[in-house]
Amino acid sequence: MEKSTEILQQYFGYDSFRLNQASAVENVIAKKDTFVLMPTGGGKSLCYQVPALVLEGTAIVISPLIALMKDQVDALRVNGISAAFLNSSMNPLEQNDTFHQLKNGKLKLLYVAPEKLSADNGSFLNFLKEINISLFAVDEAHCVSHWGHDFRPDYLFLNGLKKQFPQTPIIALTASADEITKQDIIKQLNLQKPTVLISSFDRANIKYFVQPKQSVLNHIVQYLNEHPNDSGIIYCLSRKGTEDLANNLKENGVNAAFYHAGISSAERAQVQDDFIKDKIRVMVATIAFGMGIDKSNVRFVMHADLPKNIESYYQETGRAGRDGLPSEAILFYSNADVMKLKKFAMVEGNEEQSSLMLRKLQQMTDFAEMQKCRRQYLMEYFGESHPGNCNSCDYCLSDFENWDATIDAQKLLSAVYRLKERYGKNLIIDFLRGSKGVKITDYMRNLPTYGIGTNGDKTFWQNLIKQLIINDFLRESNEEFSVLKLTEASNEVLFNKRTVHLQKVKELAKAVTVEELE
Ligand code: ADP
Ligand code: ZN
């Protein structure tokens, strides 16, 4: 381990390894297969770069992101490490030069695109047999699996790697693999008794905020004024949305640009480069922007429109703070966006797909609307436990006050009782608020509880229902259409004068305050 720490300090200028980096490095140096699941910004590169320098021979790094290869190789060379890459963008002359260096054992790292391995029936692999290979690193390893979200046929060729190089350790790295994908990667790559290293996906340096989607432009301009040195990304749903917002920001004196799949690739490369080099401060973009962009000092990621699901939200917000410094994720949320995305989800693909998309959208909506620690929700969504009280999300940073909710709880519970525990929350809320909608029958209108809840709006009652469920005063049945049911505790409230004490957010912490602008 001492040797690798020395290399870490000497070549990369860092004092110490992060937790799973140390294990990965140690493991690969011991020539054992390794699987690394680490969030974006977690530090996957060092897991193979350091062993590449410790071990004899050349490390072969398989990476699908051609655009990034050059940057990575340049960065290594700046640190005094002999590295090169091979991909389809190079002419034969340039390739020959690299082959020459390879043959003479001059390279510590060689980055190759996966299609290089499959080309000419694997002639490149045969060539590799003639040189001394220290390790294979398979980056973005989820691309080898049909279960992942980004399967690439060229990756399939990698399953022959182990057979042809049984003595050479393989390290597979990814930032996105659920359990099935993980198992599949291990199987597809033929990893032998791999050490599996899974890092927490918690990004402790990112603060999460959700704000109502109102006067968004004002909010953003204000935020930028309050954070004059910060650069970041603002995601919009549509191409036109990015153009409009970027132009509006420019009119407000902000150095902004837009990015989407509709602009030429030359132009895209240009703005991306300008952004990375801090020549553009704010990138207003569709989801087309970001995959593999290594800008470490992105201080904020905003969502001017609602993302389709938590995976996208987390991946996009994860582009903030890769350098580990405090950063912020701000989501502007509106119900109108939910409606819009619902429509998209319903027309897209087949029924099964649509219902999956709707379910994921619902989880995104829950995240935006809930009253609990946002980080806890995110971590639990990804299968990690988190105690809450993170102290760095808007909910945990908010002021709370005790709230005697007995009267409102009585109203709500008696509505559930009067309607014989047969309806879901939307109908109960409509009923309480005296809706004239068709779903409220004449019979319901004549019940004594009809219309007694006009003191609160829809959101108020939704929140109360959520809190009552959390505190066991109410439960939701697990039927196809979930129905509100009473509990023992609710009966005590209804018939035994039990009081209900809840907490209510006095003022939700905000990333930007613009009261004075409104
Ligand atoms: P990933 O590939 O997992 O997204 P990178 O390998 O690009 O992450 O690393 C993300 C950032 O963290 C980089 O800026 C890198 O220099 C930094 N980093 C990685 N490991 C360490 C470490 N042990 N100490 C300090 N910074 C580190
Ligand atoms: Zn929190």
pLDDT digit string, tens, across residues 434-444:
999 889 999 99
pLDDT at res. 271: 94
Report pLDDT digits (tens) over 252-292: 999 999 999 999 989 998 999 999 999 999 999 998 887 66
Nearest ligand to the C-alpha of residue 50?
A: 1
CA distance 331 to 500: 32
Atom of ligand 1 at shortest range from CA of 40: 4
H/E stretch holding 465 reads: helix 458-470
Report pLDDT digits (tens) over 456-495: 988 889 889 988 988 899 998 877 778 999 999 999 999 9
Q: What 8-state DSSP symbol labels residue 393?
A: B
Q: How far is the CA of 463 from the centre of ligand 1 (A)?
A: 40
Here the tokens at position 318 are: 């994860």
Residue owning the nearest CA to atom 17 of ligand 1 = 43
pLDDT at res. 349: 67
Phi and psi torsions of 375, nearest 5°:
-65, -40
Residue owning the nearest CA to atom 27 of ligand 1 = 43
Atom of ligand 1 at shortest range from CA of 12: 16
CA distance 258 to 269: 12
CA distance 320 to 232: 8
| Percent share of the chain, pLDDT over 70 | 98
Nearest ligand to the C-alpha of residue 321?
A: 1
Q: How far is the CA of 139 from the centre of ligand 1 (A)?
A: 14
Q: Identify which has the larger pLDDT, 372 or 406.
A: 406
Instruction: Answer yes or no: is pLDDT of 348 > 70.
Output: no
Here the tokens at position 42 are: 């977690």
Atom of ligand 1 at shortest range from CA of 324: 12
CA distance 232 to 389: 26
Nearest ligand to the C-alpha of residue 396?
A: 2
CA separation (Å) from 491 to 45, 417, 450, 496? 58, 9, 20, 7
Q: How confident is the model at residue 64 (pLDDT cuts 50, 70, 90)?
A: confident
Residue owning the nearest CA to atom 26 of ligand 1 = 14
Query: Cβ distance 42 to 63 under 8 Å?
Result: no
Q: How far is the CA of 363 from the centre of ligand 1 (A)?
A: 30
Q: How confident is the model at residue 514 (pLDDT cuts 50, 70, 90)?
A: low
CA distance 189 to 138: 9
292 class by beta-carbon count within 10 Å (0-12 exposed, 13-18 middle, 19+ buried): middle
Task: Name which of 446, 417, 444 is nearest 430 in CA terms.
Answer: 444
Distance of CA 54 to the CA centre of its chain: 33
Q: How far is the CA of 82 from the centre of ligand 2 (A)?
A: 44
Atom of ligand 1 at shortest range from CA of 18: 23
Of the residues 9, 111, 294, which should be mutated to test ligand 1's pocket, given the most ligand atoms within 8 Å of the CB? 294
CA separation (Å) from 464 to 221, 276, 404, 407? 34, 45, 12, 12
How many alpha carbons fall within 13 Å on the CB side of residue 291? 17
ipTM above 0.90, yes or no: yes
Q: Identify which has the larger pLDDT, 501 or 176.
A: 501
Q: How confident is the model at residue 399 (pLDDT cuts 50, 70, 90)?
A: confident
Lowest mean pLDDT, pick from 35-44, 449-458, 474-483: 474-483
Give CB contacts under 8 A, 24+ apart, made by 485-492. Answer: 485/416, 485/421, 486/413, 486/416, 486/417, 486/421, 490/413, 490/416
Mean pLDDT of 329-342: 95
Mean pLDDT of 39-53: 93
- Provide the 3-class DSSP secondary structure of residue 61: strand
Query: Cβ distance 109 to 137 under 8 Å?
Result: no
Report pLDDT digits (tens) over 282-294: 999 998 887 667 7
Nearest ligand to the C-alpha of residue 41?
A: 1
Q: How far is the CA of 182 from the centre of ligand 2 (A)?
A: 29
Atom of ligand 1 at shortest range from CA of 47: 6
Nearest ligand to the C-alpha of residue 392?
A: 2
CA distance 434 to 46: 62
CA distance 396 to 389: 6
CA separation (Å) from 328 to 232, 287, 322? 9, 18, 12
Of the residues 5, 14, 37, 68, which should be mutated to test ligand 1's pocket, given the most ligand atoms within 8 Å of the CB? 14
Of the residues 6, 12, 17, 138, which should be mutated to test ligand 1's pocket, given the most ligand atoms within 8 Å of the CB? 12
State the Cα angle at 49 between 48 and 52, rounded to 5°.
85
CA distance 456 to 224: 35
Distance of CA 338 to the CA centre of its chain: 19
Residue owning the nearest CA to atom 10 of ligand 1 = 41
Residue owning the nearest CA to atom 19 of ligand 1 = 43
Mean pLDDT of 85-102: 87
Q: How confident is the model at residue 517 (pLDDT cuts 50, 70, 90)?
A: very low
> Which residues have C-beta atoms less than 6 Å from ligand 1?
14, 17-18, 21, 38, 40-46, 294, 296, 322-323
Residue owning the nearest CA to atom 2 of ligand 1 = 44
Report pLDDT digits (tens) over 106-152: 999 999 999 888 877 778 888 899 999 999 999 999 999 887 667 88
The residues, ordered by sequence, that sit 6+ positions from 92 with a Cβ below 8 Å of its Cβ are none
How many residues would you count in the chain?
518
pLDDT at res. 59: 98
Nearest ligand to the C-alpha of residue 390?
A: 2
Report pLDDT digits (tens) over 2-32: 899 999 999 999 999 998 999 999 999 999 9
The rounded mean pLDDT for the chain is: 91
Q: How far is the CA of 38 from the centre of ligand 2 (A)?
A: 22
Query: Cβ distance 83 to 109 under 8 Å?
Result: yes
Of the residues 25, 45, 74, 298, which should be mutated to test ligand 1's pocket, given the most ligand atoms within 8 Å of the CB? 45
Beta strands in 66-175 (DSSP E): 83-86, 109-112, 133-138, 170-174
